[in-house]
A and B are shown apart, each in its own frame.
Chain A
Amino acid sequence: MVAFVVFGEALTLGLVSGPACIAACGPVLVPSLLSERAGVRSHARYLSAFLGARLLGYLLFAVAAWELGALASLLPAPRMFLMGAVNVLLACVLLWYAYSAKHICGPSCSESKLVQIGATKNRGVGGAAALGLLTGLSLCPPFVAAGVRAAELGSLAAALFFFGAFFVGTSVWFMPFVGMGCIARNQAVITVARMAMALIALYYLSMGIAMLLGRKGYGY
């Protein structure tokens, strides 16, 4: 009965905070998905890797939250350092992902109608998994809320269970992103996605470096 209540609580928390998770993951998820080849299958594959790694990030966080008592109540300095490190790593992966997308645009994008054999190839799921893991470790507000609750639970298994249910709740909101596979790809879409990823990576990089140096992320 208790497990059922905990599951319901975590699921509800995930469902209601899903839009905030979408907003927090959007800068990473949307351009990286747009840089994939068109097609629902390739997008489902990407999202599976992304969400799977995100679940791993959640569970790692759950272990930490339970072990440390309440990670959310960490002192500001270590929390800022952790966030800074995650941001820098996220920026590096995004930059690599933007670079690696240069071969995505194949025959469907070529200006001539010639078929370019070997011009396109499926990217591995490593990039999607790395992005999912790092966004899973980000301390966004709903995630911190879940961390605080998980830290109050009596056992590590309960904390893991809580985060698993929380993950299921938030993941529902990610499902519509598979539909982005229906957007036709051409050179414009791929280039815009790559440029956007580079810009977002620069943002994360600058914020990460500022946090690692112990600065506030804002100048006001």
Chain B
Amino acid sequence: MATNARLPRLAPAPPRSIVRSLLLTLPIAVWSLLMFFHPGTHTDPKSRIAAAMTALFMTALFFMMMRTGKTYRWRRWFFVTLGILFPVGFIYNMVIARGTMGIPIEEMIAGRTPFCFMPIPLLILPAALTKTLVFPGSILSSGRGIAAMVGLWLAITLVLGKGWCAYACFFGGIEEGMAAVPSRAKIRKIDPRWRYGPWAVLLAMVLLSLALFEPAYCMWLCPFKAVSEYVAARNTVGLVQNGIFVLLFAALVITLPLLTRKRTQCSFFCPFGAFQSLFNKISIFEVKIDQTRCKSCTVCQTACPNMSLSKESIARGETLLTCMKCGACVDACPRQAAVWHIKGTELAWKPERARLMFLYSAWALAVMFGGSIIAQGLVTILHFLA
């Protein structure tokens, strides 16, 4: 197999001019202003400062994407910031509202738990068939908030497919940050069968949820309970549940990303990610491998944080179903063989235009959804600094 060092590296595309990059960034700048400064949004200076900082941050990152032609590096800044600031704002609000991060069963039954997108696969069918929300959560006093969230998720998912996991998920940022810390992976050889883990967790959790009439994943396996809301334990089993959350978080979100440079929780465990992968079949955006340029150096495979490329898939000129369109492979390919693509068009058809169309959709979502979470986290920090 050819190694990267032996390959003739194609000259990278020159950076765009500043003026052209600014013009391309203009729609996102306007969108950011609309999102963060529509009338009646901010009542105090701290939230105005946080909104301005977030709008500037998101616009600057998009500008750098346009200027450099790179996607992953700049998206990662956003994503890690989102992952860090989500627990900050969330925990603060939890403590203000409830006085603790622990949720007792009475609160769950009363529907006073915050909404989480993770159980969406579990609640769609019961909600459609019986008008019942099996997950005891709400973001408003009624189910309207959840309906709005599910509608928003569905619209975004139909467009981006598994891109949700790289531009919207507020859980993945911590492990992506951890994966970025070491310069080289300590563990490089990973059995590819672990890639089936999320599907197994999804199957097991859906079946157990049906059998037990409870959201089994939330009750037993969610690693992010460690940084959001834990079980208000009243006996030994409750302590065991919390212990499982902390152990899974420590292993899958902290330790393994440090050792492998991969998003291990997403790659090997997250059932929502597996469910989300199915929508890659519907989404019009995808990443393809141009076989006329590819020399099978597998640099893209190494760069992929989600193990969504294999030698076989590269030979077929495509990513695996689990690709989250983060752009790592496209940025890493020395021969520009990994390209953004719109289904139904020829592979050679202006990949940069496909990238732009995808990024406008994805970044508009990032500003609207992730940006508001970042702003909330910043408000909390400013509150403490003041």
Contact = CB atoms under 8 A, between A and B. Distances in A.
A200 interface: yes
Given A219-B240, A219-B241, A220-B105, A195 B207 contact: no
Given A192-B196, A192-B200, A199-B201, A27 B237 contact: no
Interface string B106-138: 001000000000000000000000000000000
A31 B202 CA distance: 12
Contacts of A194: 200
Interface in A53-90: none
A220 B207 contact: no
Contacts of B242: 219
Contacts of A23: 210-211
A187 B239 CA distance: 37
Interface in A172-220: 187-188, 191-196, 198-200, 203, 206, 210, 215-220
A26 interface: yes
B309 to A, nearest CB: 16
Interface stretch (B24-32, B163-171, B226-234, B336-344): B226-234
Contact of A219 (B201, B207, B239): B239
A200 B104 CA distance: 25
Interface string B269-307: 000000000000000000000000000000000000000
Contacts of B239: 219
Nearest to A141: B213
B204 A210 contact: no
Nearest to B244: A206
B234 A196 contact: no
Nearest to A26: B207
**Interface SS of A by simple majority:** helix
A197 B241 CA distance: 20
Classify chain A: how many residues form its interface, as a range. 20 to 34
B204 A200 contact: yes
A216 B235 contact: yes
A144 interface: no
B197 interface: yes
A218 B312 CA distance: 45
Contacts of A26: 207, 210-211
A210 B199 contact: no
Question: Max chain B CB contacts within 10 Å: which of A26, A187, A198?
Answer: A26
B345 interface: no
A158 interface: no
Given A27-B204, A203-B208, A219 B237 contact: yes
Contact of A220 (B104, B203, B220, B312): B104
A30 interface: yes
Question: Max chain B CB contacts within 10 Å: which of A25, A194, A196, A219?
Answer: A219
B238 interface: yes
Given A30-B203, A31-B204, A203-B208, A215 B196 contact: no
Contacts of A188: 196, 199
B3 interface: no
9 contacts: A23-B211, A24-B211, A27-B210, A193-B200, A196-B204, A199-B201, A199-B204, A200-B208, A220-B231
Interface of A: 23-27, 30-31, 111, 187-188, 191-196, 198-200, 203, 206, 210, 215-220
Interface of B: 104-105, 108, 193, 196-197, 199-201, 203-204, 207-208, 210-211, 216, 219-220, 231-242, 312
